[in-house]
């Protein structure tokens, strides 16, 4: 028997790294942008209202990410006092601008503006956030304007309409981590228009059997325990505990919650909807927060923008 000092290989990590996967996707998009450069440079218009620090940070990150992959970004910044009509006029101008393939209205907008009147003004073809009712409807019916089409849901890049970025990112994380979706039981916690509902519809199209859990669900815990795949998108810090999970579940944590942390410099820490430390050992795979779903949202925005440019050019 050897007492060799070669250390044992570290156990394979069960963490799904959104940071690494999104980097991979951005590198692919950079190659793609470079290969279509002679025909088109994808362009993203970003409308920002006011000066919320989180909105400023998101917009800065999005523009930086655009630059890195080779997408032109065009910023339109407005004061808090802008009128709804001014924003809609700008959207209409951008709808007609051939340099712009995607239009992003950074949310939230101030209270005097009806958000979905502005986001619905974006032409569905340029709606890279996937918020327009027509893009939303296609997610239910899987129909394109040209008729009922059997979508290739396996390859989201081929879908001829825009799917909201965060839900699309969740599916991409599963796919790129080798998680089979078809035939699985998936439980989605949360039923928001931005994440819970669309990710449920996507999982259904990919032939998972979905259950949607929400605030009025009685004994949510026992429902979640039936799931092979759990998507937590409810916005409550560490709500999902290890006894909510089936042994070997795959967990995608969409939540980003700020909790007090006097021991840190910032005084707070970001945590997910899942109690990561408690659950990690029980999961087949799990996304951390931060570094899980978060980085995927921007990567999917970039992909939607590149797809939009390619479609316009018939590539």
Residue 179 touching its own copies (CB under 8 A): no
Residue 148 touching its own copies (CB under 8 A): yes
Residue 191 touching its own copies (CB under 8 A): yes
Question: Segment 59-98, which members bind its own copies (CB under 8 A)?
Answer: none
Q: Which is nearer to its own copies, 26 or 138 (CB)?
A: 138
Residue 116 touching its own copies (CB under 8 A): yes
Shortest spacing between CB 61 and its own copies, in angstroms: 26
Residue with tokens 């089979």: 180
Query: Which of the residues 125, 127, 129, 228 is marked catalytic?
Result: 129
Respond yes or no: is residue 62 known to be catalytic: yes
Count CB neighbours of 59 within 10 A.
19
User: How many chain residues interact with its own copies (CB under 8 A)?
Assistant: 39
Respond yes or no: is residue 106 known to be catalytic: yes
Taking every pair of Cα atoms in the chain, the longest distance, rounded to a whole number of angstroms, is 79
Q: Which is nearer to its own copies, 108 or 267 (CB)?
A: 108
Residues 3-32: x where in contact with its own copies by CB under 8 A, - otherwise, as a string? ------------------------------
Interface segment toward its own copies; rule CB under 8 A; list 5-13, 40-48, 112-120, 250-258: 112-120
Q: From the list 60, 145, 154, 311, which residue makes contact with its own copies (rule: CB under 8 A)? A: 145
Shortest spacing between CB 85 and its own copies, in angstroms: 15
Q: Which is nearer to its own copies, 7 or 146 (CB)?
A: 146
Residue 111 touching its own copies (CB under 8 A): no
**What is the C-alpha to C-alpha distance for residues 68 and 58, in angstroms, rounded to an integer?**
15
Residue 304 touching its own copies (CB under 8 A): no
Q: From the list 7, 9, 38, 216, which residue makes contact with its own copies (rule: CB under 8 A)? A: 216
DSSP notation for the chain = -----PPPPPPPP-B--HHHHHHHHHHHHHHHHHHHTTT---EEEEEEES--HHHHHHHHHHHHHHHHHT-EEEEEEE-TT--HHHHHHHHHHHHT-TT-SEEEEPSPPPTTS-HHHHHTTS-GGG-TT--SHHHHHHHHH-EETTEE----TT-GGG-SS---HHHHHHHHHHHHTT---TT-EEEEE---TTTHHHHHHHHHHTT-EEEEE-TT-TTHHHHHTT-SEEEE-S--TT-B-GGGS-TTEEEEE---EEEE-TTSSSSEEEE-SB-HHHHGGGEEEE--SSSSSHHHHHHHHHHHHHHHHHHHTT-
Q: Which is nearer to its own copies, 210 or 231 (CB)?
A: 210
Q: Which residues are catalytic?
A: 62, 106, 129
Positions in the binding site for its own copies (CB under 8 A): 114-117, 120, 133-134, 136-143, 145-148, 182-183, 185, 191, 193, 197, 201, 204, 207, 209-214, 216-218, 223, 226
């Amino acid at each position: 028997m050897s007492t060799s000092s070669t250390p044992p290989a570290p156990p394979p990590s069960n963490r799904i790294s959104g940071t690494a996967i999104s980097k991979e996707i951005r590198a692919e998009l950079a190659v793609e942008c470079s290969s279509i450069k002679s025909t088109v440079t994808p362009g993203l218009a970003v409308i920002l209202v006011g000066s919320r620090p989180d909105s400023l940070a998101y917009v800065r990150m999005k523009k930086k990410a655009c630059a890195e992959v080779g997408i032109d970004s065009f910023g339109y910044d407005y004061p808090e006092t802008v009128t709804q009509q001014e924003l809609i006029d700008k959207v209409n101008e951008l709808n007609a601008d051939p340099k712009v393939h995607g239009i992003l209205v950074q949310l939230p907008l101030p209270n005097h503006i009806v958000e979905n009147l502005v986001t619905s003004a974006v032409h569905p073809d340029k709606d890279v956030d996937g918020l327009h009712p027509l893009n939303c409807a296609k997610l239910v019916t899987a129909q394109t304007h040209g008729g009922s089409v059997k979508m290739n849901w396996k390859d989201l890049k081929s879908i001829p309409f825009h799917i909201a970025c965060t839900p699309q990112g969740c599916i991409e994380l599963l796919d790129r981590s080798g998680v089979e979706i078809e035939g699985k039981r998936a439980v989605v916690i949360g039923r928001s228009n931005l994440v819970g509902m669309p990710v449920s519809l996507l999982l259904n199209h990919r032939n998972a059997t979905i259950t949607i859990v929400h605030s009025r669900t009685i004994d949510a815990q026992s429902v979640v325990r039936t799931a092979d795949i759990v998507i937590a998108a409810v916005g409550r810090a560490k709500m999902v505990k290890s006894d909510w999970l089936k042994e070997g579940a795959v967990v995608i944590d969409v939540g980003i919650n700020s909790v007090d942390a006097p021991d840190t410099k910032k005084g707070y820490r970001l945590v997910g909807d899942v109690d990561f430390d408690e659950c990690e050992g029980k999961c087949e795979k799990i996304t951390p927060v931060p570094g899980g779903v978060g980085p995927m949202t921007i990567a999917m925005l970039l992909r939607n923008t590149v797809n939009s440019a390619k479609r316009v050019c018939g590539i």
